[in-house]
């Protein structure tokens, strides 16, 4: 039986994931607020929708990949939200990175409407999404997971079951907190290295062979800012949003994140500059500007 899919949100990650579903032969109807993005995926064979609601009517599975909690709540639960248009027994998969409380709210509304729900945020980079190598952090029961597993396999190569509904979102908050604080440490380390006269290739090679190694330097920075490419990707604005989620979660649990608080402040300051809309790896260029050093680049 053919699985019919609605896909809402064709941003930096949503576009390649929706495109991979189409390429793998799934029947996809797509919507985004930017018409050009709908036309692009339609050119691959997706059906174009002129509204979010139109993209979900009669669909077996609906994916949402949206910027933040307010957009998810508006698109799903708003007065003309998609939940009111979805068929009982269908499945909503939210892949957005949002506040866990927002996930819980959407999950409760889905349960009341007779729609299955799973939170399934995405890991790895845009380059991985383009190659169909995304990673998924899934919160949900076995029956719901079995419905969406073929679709996830069409978009990625790694699926991690994190627990019941809501645990995928919570795992993503922790994951992004760790990677973004690490990114700031990498930026500062490279500034220090530049000041000390070290070559970037030397830093990258040596740290790759010690426990200092990390994916931000070896993969994220190496494929973006260290090549002179700071176009997003994942913007500094979105990085700040994700750090906000972590800080709010920590506050709700009455714990402090002192190193995270420092990184949060730096990323917040970077948002007041033209780097706000650039790739988060541009934290390196921002740090270099503050230190008065030339940003290092790989040859």
Pairwise CA distance, residues 250 & 5, whole Å: 36
Q: Using CA atoms in the order 32, 38, 42, 43, what is the torsion angle rounded to 10 degrees?
A: -150
Helix (H, G, I), strand (E, B) or coil at 123: strand
**Which residues are bridge partners to 117 per DSSP?**
92
| CB neighbourhood size of 298 (10 A) | 13
Pairwise CA distance, residues 18 & 45, whole Å: 11
Active-site residue flag, 224: no
**Which residues are bridge partners to 92 per DSSP?**
62, 117
Convert 26-52 to b/e letters by CB count within 10 Å (16 or more is b): bbbbbbbeeeebbebbbeeebbbbeeb
Residue 14 in tokens: 């949503």
Q: Are 280 and 229 in contact (CB under 8 A)?
A: no
Pairwise CA distance, residues 143 & 149, whole Å: 10
- Tokens 């979010």 identify what position? 52
Catalytic residue among 37, 59, 105, 172: 172
Nearest CA to 63 out of 47, 50, 52, 51 is that of 52
Residue 101 in tokens: 């409380």
Residues that are catalytic: 172
């Amino acid at each position: 039986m053919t699985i019919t899919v609605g896909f809402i949100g064709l941003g930096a990650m949503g576009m390649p994931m929706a495109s991979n579903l189409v390429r793998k032969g799934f029947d996809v109807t797509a919507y985004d607020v930017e018409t050009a993005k709908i036309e692009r995926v339609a050119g691959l064979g997706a059906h174009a929708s002129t509204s979010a609601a139109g993209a979900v009517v009669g669909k077996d599975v609906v994916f949402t990949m949206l910027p933040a909690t307010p957009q998810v709540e508006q698109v799903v639960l708003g007065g003309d939200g998609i939940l009111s248009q979805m068929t009982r027994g269908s499945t909503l998969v939210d892949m957005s990175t949002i506040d866990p409380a927002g996930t819980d709210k959407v999950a409760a509304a889905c349960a009341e409407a007779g729609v299955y729900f799973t939170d399934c945020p995405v890991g790895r980079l845009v380059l991985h999404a383009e190659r169909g190598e995304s990673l998924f952090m899934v919160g949900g029961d076995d029956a719901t997971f079995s419905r969406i597993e073929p679709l996830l396999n069409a978009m990625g190569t790694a699926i991690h079951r994190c627990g019941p509904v809501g645990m995928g979102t919570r795992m993503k908050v922790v994951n992004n907190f760790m990677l973004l604080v690490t990114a700031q440490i990498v930026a500062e380390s490279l500034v220090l290295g530049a000041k000390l006269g070290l070559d970037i290739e030397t830093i990258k090679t040596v740290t790759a062979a010690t426990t200092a190694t990390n994916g931000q330097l070896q993969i994220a920075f190496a494929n973006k800012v260290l090549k002179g490419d700071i176009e997003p990707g994942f913007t500094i604005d979105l990085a700040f949003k994700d750090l906000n989620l972590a800080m709010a979660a920590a506050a709700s649990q009455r714990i402090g994140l002192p190193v995270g608080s420092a990184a949060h402040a730096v990323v917040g300051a970077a948002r007041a500059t033209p780097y706000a809309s650039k790739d988060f790896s541009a934290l390196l260029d921002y740090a270099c500007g503050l230190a008065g050093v030339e940003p290092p680049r790989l040859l």
